[in-house]
Chains A and B, each alone.
Chain A
Amino acid sequence: MRIIGTGSSLPSKTVTNQDLMEFLDTSDEWISSRTGIRERRVLSNESLLQLAFGASKAALEDAKLSPDQIDYILCSTVQGEWVTPGLGCIVQRELGASCPALDLNGACAGFIYALDMADALLKAGKAKRVVIVCAEAMSRIVDWTRRETSVLFGDGAGAVVVDGGEGLLSIRLTTRGDSEILHMRAPTGNSPFEGNPAGQDFLHMAGQEVYRFAVGACVEDLRALMGETGLTAGSIDYFLLHQANLRILEAVRSRMGEPPEKFPHNLERTGNTSSATIPILMDELNRSGALKPGQTLALAAFGAGLVNGACLIRWNP
């Protein structure tokens, strides 16, 4: 499997840390020292569907493909526009594609899980070209009356097109089921048969525990992939880590023993856009010309589930 096109789409509205001080007891100093985030984009007058469609269309154009050449659309999202239909189905309609489309929820590791599924589809001969789009509206699931989570996240979409060429060197996924340290309940409706229907819940996160899980899982994944392929950290050109928190990136970087230039980041502008962080970052690097054919990229992500996943790819568009 190789990535042959990238795309991304961010909402137009920027909310700075300063803006948040108007209604939250927080500060730019607290948010940026704790996370590295200075501003984020949030949905205001566009839809998540528009972001997902925009990113997918851009990725197809980058790959120089038309929608009818796509065999499968995988859409990673924690919460789409609708509980049903899946967001991927409507992206398919908007693109004018005619292939199967499926949503998947791998939380912040959704992109890696989707890459693995696409790889399986390609190897099984069920698809020759797959669009993976990660589209997240975190602004719709954080509690904006509480600073603990609302300052951390942003909205956005990133997409890639993959085909069966050479590129993926190794990939690994891990799930450790846990609904305690990072969770949000789904609405429970008004069934008269279930007692105490929950109302609107929001994202809950135990910061220290999630930090320790994230750093530990990410380092474990990267070391395992390097062990499996014989590649060293020194031979990896870029580490594209899930853009959750600059402190997590630094903790992983120091354990890898590699310089900061190998750990690009954009979370200072985007916040944590869940599964969209890596494809958005990849698209920015691709369009800036930072990615060169033959380079080795390590992608690693971690999220609610608890899930984590990582892969090594040779950049070969």
Chain B
Amino acid sequence: MTFEKVAAVLADYKGIDVSTIKPESTFAELEFDSLDVAEVAMKLEDEFSITLEIDASDKTVQDLVSRIEGTK
């Protein structure tokens, strides 16, 4: 559920097909630079009504999911 919502936000932001986004997809593969990641983190904060801390160790979509679920 969390992954689906995150993928939808990422797909909408970049205008890409949501089916191309997998949990193991890296930001580099999806052509998200660090400011893109910062921007989607802000959008995910709004989507999930949470505060999201991210850093250089976050490299994949799964990292974002884990942050949101509180497991990272």
A216 interface contact, C-beta 8 A: yes
A49 to B6, CA, bound (A): 51
- Asked if B33 and A251 make an inter-chain contact with CB atoms under 8 angstroms apart, the answer reads no
Q: Give, as a whole number of angstroms, the nearest-CB distance from A243 to chain B.
A: 16
The 9 sampled A-B contact pairs (Cβ below 8 Å) are A33-B33, A34-B33, A208-B38, A208-B54, A208-B55, A209-B38, A211-B35, A211-B39, A212-B38
Residue numbers of B with Cβ under 8 A of A are: 33-35, 37-39, 41-42, 54-55
Which of A33, A207, A216, A247 is close to B42, meaning CB atoms less than 8 Å apart? A216
A87 interface contact, C-beta 8 A: no
A215 to B54, CA, bound (A): 16
Instruction: Name the A residues within 8 Å of B33 (CB-CB).
Output: 33-34
Instruction: Name the B residues within 8 Å of A211 (CB-CB).
Output: 35, 38-39
- Asked if B34 and A208 make an inter-chain contact with CB atoms under 8 angstroms apart, the answer reads yes
A207 to B38, CA, bound (A): 9
Q: Give, as a whole number of angstroms, the nearest-CB distance from B62 to chain A.
A: 19
A208 to B38, CA, bound (A): 6
- Asked if A207 and B34 make an inter-chain contact with CB atoms under 8 angstroms apart, the answer reads yes
Residue numbers of A with Cβ under 8 A of B are: 33-34, 207-209, 211-212, 215-216, 245, 247, 251
Instruction: Name the B residues within 8 Å of A208 (CB-CB).
Output: 34-35, 37-38, 54-55
Q: Which 4 A-B pairs have the closest CB atoms?
A: A208-B38, A211-B38, A247-B35, A212-B38
Instruction: Name the A residues within 8 Å of B39 (CB-CB).
Output: 211, 215, 247, 251
A211 to B42, CA, bound (A): 10
What residue of chain A has the Cβ atom nearest to residue B34's Cβ? A208
What residue of chain B has the Cβ atom nearest to residue A30's Cβ? B33
A211 to B34, CA, bound (A): 10
A251 to B42, CA, bound (A): 10
- Asked if A34 and B35 make an inter-chain contact with CB atoms under 8 angstroms apart, the answer reads yes
- Asked if A212 and B41 make an inter-chain contact with CB atoms under 8 angstroms apart, the answer reads yes
A215 to B34, CA, bound (A): 15
Instruction: Name the B residues within 8 Å of A216 (CB-CB).
Output: 42
Instruction: Name the A residues within 8 Å of B54 (CB-CB).
Output: 208
Add 18 more A-B contacts to A208-B38, A211-B39, A216-B42 (CB < 8 A).
Answer: A33-B33, A34-B33, A34-B35, A207-B34, A207-B35, A207-B38, A208-B37, A208-B54, A211-B35, A211-B38, A212-B38, A212-B41, A212-B42, A215-B42, A245-B35, A247-B35, A247-B39, A251-B39
Q: Give, as a whole number of angstroms, the nearest-CB distance from B33 to chain A.
A: 6
A216 to B51, CA, bound (A): 12
Q: Give, as a whole number of angstroms, the nearest-CB distance from B10 to chain A.
A: 15
What residue of chain B has the Cβ atom nearest to residue A216's Cβ? B42
A219 to B35, CA, bound (A): 17
Q: Give, as a whole number of angstroms, the nearest-CB distance from A161 to chain B.
A: 37
Q: Give, as a whole number of angstroms, the nearest-CB distance from A171 to chain B.
A: 25
Instruction: Name the B residues within 8 Å of A207 (CB-CB).
Output: 34-35, 38
Q: Give, as a whole number of angstroms, the nearest-CB distance from B67 to chain A.
A: 14
Q: Give, as a whole number of angstroms, the nearest-CB distance from A162 to chain B.
A: 35
A215 to B36, CA, bound (A): 13
Instruction: Name the B residues within 8 Å of A212 (CB-CB).
Output: 38, 41-42
What residue of chain B has the Cβ atom nearest to residue A212's Cβ? B38
A215 to B45, CA, bound (A): 13
Instruction: Name the B residues within 8 Å of A215 (CB-CB).
Output: 39, 42
